[in-house]
Chains A and B, each alone.
Chain A
Amino acid sequence: MPKDQSLSQLTLWLLAVRDQRDRGAFADMFDYLAPRLKGFIIRSGSSPALAEEIVQDVMLTVWRKAALFDPHKAQASAWIYQIARNRHIDIVRKESRPVPDELGEDPATEPDASQILALEQETVRLKHAIAQLHPDQKEMIVKAYMGHLTHQEISSQTGLPLGTVKSRIRLGLGRLRKELKGLR
């Protein structure tokens, strides 16, 4: 695949790790990802010590499983997010999560470079939509995507009455959804 300028830096690093086992690219990716992963994991309620352990495990898993990364199917950040969730849960539960079989390419669509770019652009717009959220709304959605939090739990953790939490999630999603509608 050509090294296109419109691919995100994260995708380029991941492809360099996948195709060349590029340690320099991995080290750069570590500098970018590790603090974000740690911040993300801490916000799920994990201690900083556990977060460090999970970050180490996730980064090593990214290195070992890079061959499975396919930019036609998933954006780099989406692929790493799912690894982070899986490793977090596997470490806490000490048991492997069930993961789906690969379905292979959809016979209806030819894989091509424009597909990768379309996914990249979608990610950029999604990040833009998230950046537009009020910090409180963003916090709620982050917690939902970190798992283990029901409405009730979000409510008791933040000390907010349930109605307010729900309306914040709804407001946040309303804006996200409007942005996402524009993607179709």
Chain B
Amino acid sequence: MPAITHHIPDEMIAAYVSGSLPHAFSMVVASHLSYCRDCQAALGAHQAAGGALLETGDAVAVEAGLKSRVLAALDSHVVPEPVFEAKGIYPGPVIQRLKGRPPRWKSLGMGVKQDILFEDSEGSARLLFIPAGQAVPDHSHNGLELTLVLQGSFSDETGQFGVGDVEIGDENLEHTPVADAGDPCICLAATDAPLRFRAFMPRLLQPLFRI
């Protein structure tokens, strides 16, 4: 696999770690992390900071019965949650949302297809299938959008994006991405449009771990 050159910004990894990132974006971040050692290192740094804060924080006594309830439950039988692992071109977080099934493509015309994987009040995530030479459909021009390549590649004015690369767009990015020659380009795309992206980690956390 060629080296990944387009990464998740550190502030977004921090927001993912802490859980303040909307679900649709978390799907893209977790999927990129499934390819990228560099971003996993940044993830580890933020987890370490969180762990250190947990250990050094003020303790609050738990209720008297909690310990015995927990100890009594150690042997209780629990149906393990299903674990979804990468399958074919799809990383685990996409397989989780597909529940292990293949995508259910819906045509958008010109050979372009989509499968909406997730939608809530904070954003949506979809798979896009774009034949070589076709333009990547705009999913939004008034919000934040993350586009992660799962197969093939696309290019626009800002560069080329191959498997594992993620493009981050907002209303300031004027671009016309087109799928490159070769295999059809399959992407995982998330957007917060029309709602504003509101739950970001403070921007000031950004430089902390990539000094």
What is A's interface to B at a CB cutoff of 8 Å?
10, 23, 26-27, 30-31, 34-40, 42-43, 48, 51-52, 55-56, 59-60, 63-64, 73-82, 84-86, 88-89, 93, 95-101, 103, 106, 119, 122-123, 126-127, 130-131, 138, 141-142, 144-151, 154, 166, 169-170, 173, 176-177, 180-181, 184
Question: Which of A27, A93, A149 touches B23 (beta carbons < 8 Å)?
Answer: A93
Q: Which 9 A-B pairs rank lowest in CB-CB distance, beginning with the nearest? A: A77-B51, A35-B59, A100-B33, A98-B93, A78-B51, A147-B19, A147-B18, A81-B50, A101-B34
Q: Which residue in A43, A141, A150 is a CB contact (below 8 Å) of B199? A: A150
What is the CA–CA distance of A101 and B23 in the complex, to the nearest angstrom? 17
Contact partner of A95 (CB less than 8 A), chosen from B23, B60, B86, B202, is B23
Q: Judge if B57 is at the interface, Cβ distance under 8 Å.
A: yes
**Nearest-CB residue, chain A, relative to B94:** A98
Q: Are A181 and B211 in contact (CB under 8 A)?
A: yes
Q: How many residues of B contact A (CB 8 A)?
A: 63
**Contact assessment for B54 and A84 in the assembled complex, using a CB-CB cutoff below 8 Å:** yes
Question: A142 touches which one: B48, B53, B208 (CB < 8 A)?
Answer: B53
Q: Is the CB of A146 within 8 A of B18?
A: yes
With CB as the reference atom, state the residue of chain A lying closest to B74.
A63
Interchain CB contact under 8 A, B199 and A101: no
Other CB < 8 Å A-B pairs besides A147-B199, A150-B199, 12 of them?
A30-B71, A34-B62, A36-B59, A51-B60, A81-B47, A97-B19, A97-B23, A100-B30, A101-B85, A103-B34, A144-B14, A148-B19
Given A78-B44, A98-B26, A98-B27, the answer on whether A10 and B55 have CB atoms closer than 8 Å is yes
- Judged by a CB distance under 8 angstroms, whether B207 is at the interface is yes
Secondary structure dominating the interface of B? helix
Does A96 contact B62, Cβ atoms closer than 8 Å? no
B123 interface contact, C-beta 8 A: no
Give the docked Cα–Cα distance between A99 and B81 (Å). Answer: 13
A85-B50 contact, Cβ under 8 Å, with A100-B93, A151-B202: yes
